[in-house]
């Protein structure tokens, strides 16, 4: 029988790509999502790619009663991949309490239900933001955890701590995956990132500028101690990231984990500057981007990229898609968004 994996936030950007990879690896994913930051049409994209329309439940996990009611209906679950969370850094600064309320309550209620029902395996969607600006690059999982620069980032740090404490007490096993900078889209261009309003992140800003939706990109600072003065990040293709989740849940379900709580960096191990990403996009698409250098954005670290050796050695996972693949799939997706969602994304 296929293992049944609950995917919270499964209609979101990384969640939807993971659902596709789970289906293709022979799992039965069950999606819960509040649809506050994603769309039901994502299921069409998943179905188009895989031929399977996954089971979907609209649930708001930060409401305890909704979470309880949902778990009362779903039957046996072999593991959970928990993506559902708010993720806009700027918004988390203006609305810190809703970020703590949403991201932490939903995690707590989810784990309570898991413990009560004997569901033992959880993969958690964490972030390299828990390292803030590390002293040493590339940064490994052993690096000191520091207070992240935003309430959003802090919810990831606190969530990891909650999970670790829960795992120490209850019959639970967990893997936290610390993502670096996920970009790119499925090669079919049927699913991808759907930022609401003006994007905060670099890649959707680039594609929307190329599309003419935004007038120009502002590069946030060119006086950092980096090769061209712009910030360095470890961009990772969302499909590579999704595949790592399948490996992680497989590791837990088949009880191959070495300890009850494990943490892995997910990046390529290579850093690119903002200008390098812009130029890779221009090269791959032939589109000249309108950009200007602006002031630094507060809260940005100068450079961060992953030491990926732990994930490679232990999970046997390695990011296979390069920056060219990342920018071109992002662009194909941007070109297709309006075919799927009409004017919703103008
Ligand atoms: C951000 C979050 C991080 C979160 C991640 C994924 C911050 C400080 N960090 O990472 O916690 O996990 O998103 O959601 O916001 N840039 C520009 N112009 C733009 C947009 C971005 O120059 O219009 C630059 C930024 O300065 C940065 C790089 O592009 O150097 C990447 O930015 P972004 O995509 O927002 O990701 P991060 O800030 O690294």
What is the number of other CB atoms lying within 10 angstroms of the CB of residue 329?
A: 23
- Residue 266 structure tokens: 């997910």
User: DSSP secondary-structure letter at 84?
Assistant: -
Q: What CATH code is carried by the domain that includes residue 69?
A: 3.40.50.720
Over the chain, what is the mean pLDDT?
97
CA dist., res. 85 & res. 332, Å (int): 26
What angle is formed at CA 281 by the lines to CA 276 and CA 282, rounded to 5 degrees? 95
Q: What is the pLDDT of residue 196?
A: 85
231 lines ligand 1 (CB under 6 A): yes
> Ligand 1 atom closest to Cα of 88?
14
Question: For residue 105, how far is its CA from the centre of ligand 1 (angstroms)?
Answer: 26
pLDDT above 80: residue 310:
yes
* CA nearest ligand 1 atom 15, residue: 89
Question: For residue 69, how far is its CA from the centre of ligand 1 (angstroms)?
Answer: 37
pLDDT above 70: residue 266:
yes
CA dist., res. 104 & res. 128, Å (int): 18
The domain total for the chain is: 1
Q: What is the pLDDT of residue 2?
A: 86
Direct distance between the N- and C-terminal alpha carbons of the chain, in angstroms, rounded to an integer: 43
- Residue 72 structure tokens: 């009362």
CA dist., res. 344 & res. 48, Å (int): 20
Question: For residue 10, how far is its CA from the centre of ligand 1 (angstroms)?
Answer: 23
Looking only at the bridges linking them, the beta strands covering 181-183 and 217-220 are unpaired
Mutate which of 148, 160, 181 for ligand 1? The one with the most ligand atoms within 8 Å of its CB, which is 181
Query: So which residues are the catalytic ones?
Result: 152
Per-residue pLDDT band for 344 (boundaries 50, 70, 90) equals: confident
DSSP secondary structure letters along 171-190: S-EEEEEEE-EEE---TTSS
Write out the residue range of the structural domain in which residue 268 sits: 4-345
pLDDT above 80: residue 337:
yes
Mutate which of 126, 274, 278, 327 for ligand 1? The one with the most ligand atoms within 8 Å of its CB, which is 274
Tokens 């993506």, residue located: 83
User: DSSP secondary-structure letter at 232?
Assistant: E
Q: What percent of the chain has pLDDT over 90?
A: 94
Do residues 166 and 122 lie in contact, with contact meaning Cβ atoms separated by under 8 Å? Answer: no
CA dist., res. 289 & res. 83, Å (int): 32
Question: For residue 201, how far is its CA from the centre of ligand 1 (angstroms)?
Answer: 5
Find residue 30's DSSP bridge partners.
6, 55
Q: What is the pLDDT of residue 159?
A: 98
Using alpha carbons, select from 167, 68, 75 the residue that is nearest to residue 121: 167
Mean per-residue pLDDT, 85-108: 96
Q: What is the pLDDT of residue 11?
A: 98
Per-residue pLDDT band for 346 (boundaries 50, 70, 90) equals: low
DSSP secondary structure letters along 205-231: HHHHHHHTSSS-EEEE-S-SSSTTSS-
Q: Which of 42-46, 164-168, 196-200 has the lowest mean pLDDT?
A: 196-200
Mean per-residue pLDDT, 251-274: 98
Q: Give the H/E segment covering residue 195.
A: none
Q: Cβ-count burial of 192 within 10 angstroms (0-12 exposed, 13-18 middle, 19+ buried)?
A: buried
Cβ-Cβ contacts under 8 Å for 95 (sequence gap 6 or more): none
285 lines ligand 1 (CB under 6 A): no
- Phi, psi for 266 (deg, rounded to 5): -125, 100
241 lines ligand 1 (CB under 6 A): no
Instruction: Write the pLDDT tens digit of every residue in 18-62.
Output: 999 999 999 999 999 999 999 999 999 999 999 999 999 999 999
Q: Cβ-count burial of 212 within 10 angstroms (0-12 exposed, 13-18 middle, 19+ buried)?
A: exposed
pLDDT above 90: residue 1:
no
């Amino acid at each position: 029988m296929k293992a049944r994996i609950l995917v919270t936030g499964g209609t979101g950007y990384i969640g939807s790509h993971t659902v596709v990879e789970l289906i293709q690896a022979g799992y039965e994913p069950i999606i819960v999502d509040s649809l506050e930051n994603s769309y039901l049409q994502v299921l069409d994209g998943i179905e188009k790619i895989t031929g399977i329309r996954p089971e979907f439940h609209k649930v708001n996990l930060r409401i305890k009663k909704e979470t309880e009611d949902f778990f009362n209906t779903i039957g046996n679950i072999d593991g959970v991949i928990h993506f559902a969370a708010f993720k806009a850094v700027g918004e988390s600064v203006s609305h810190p309490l809703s970020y703590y309320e949403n991201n932490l309550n939903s995690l707590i209620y989810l784990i309570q239900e898991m413990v009560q029902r004997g569901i033992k395996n959880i993969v958690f969607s964490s972030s390299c933001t828990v390292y803030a600006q590390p002293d040493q690059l590339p940064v490994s999982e052993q690096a000191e955890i520091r207070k992240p620069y935003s309430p959003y980032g802090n919810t990831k740090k606190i969530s990891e701590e909650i999970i670790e404490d829960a795992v120490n007490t209850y019959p639970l096993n967990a893997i936290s995956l610390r993502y670096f900078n996920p970009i790119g889209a499925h090669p079919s261009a049927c699913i991808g990132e759907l930022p609401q309003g003006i994007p905060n992140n670099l890649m959707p800003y680039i594609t929307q500028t190329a599309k003419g939706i935004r007038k120009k990109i502002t590069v946030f600072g060119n006086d950092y101690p980096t090769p061209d003065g712009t910030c360095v990040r470890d961009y990772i293709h969302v499909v590579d990231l999704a595949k790592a989740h399948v490996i992680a849940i497989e590791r837990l379900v088949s009880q191959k984990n070495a300890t009850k709580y494990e943490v892995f960096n997910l990046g390529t191990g290579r850093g690119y500057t903002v200008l390098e990403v812009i130029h890779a996009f221009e090269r791959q698409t032939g589109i000249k981007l309108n950009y200007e250098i602006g002031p630094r954005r507060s809260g940005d670290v100068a450079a961060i990229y992953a030491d990926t050796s732990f994930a490679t050695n232990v999970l046997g996972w390695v990011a296979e898609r390069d920056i060219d693949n990342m920018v071109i799939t992002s662009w194909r997706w941007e070109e297709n968004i309006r075919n799927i969602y009409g004017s919703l994304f103008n």
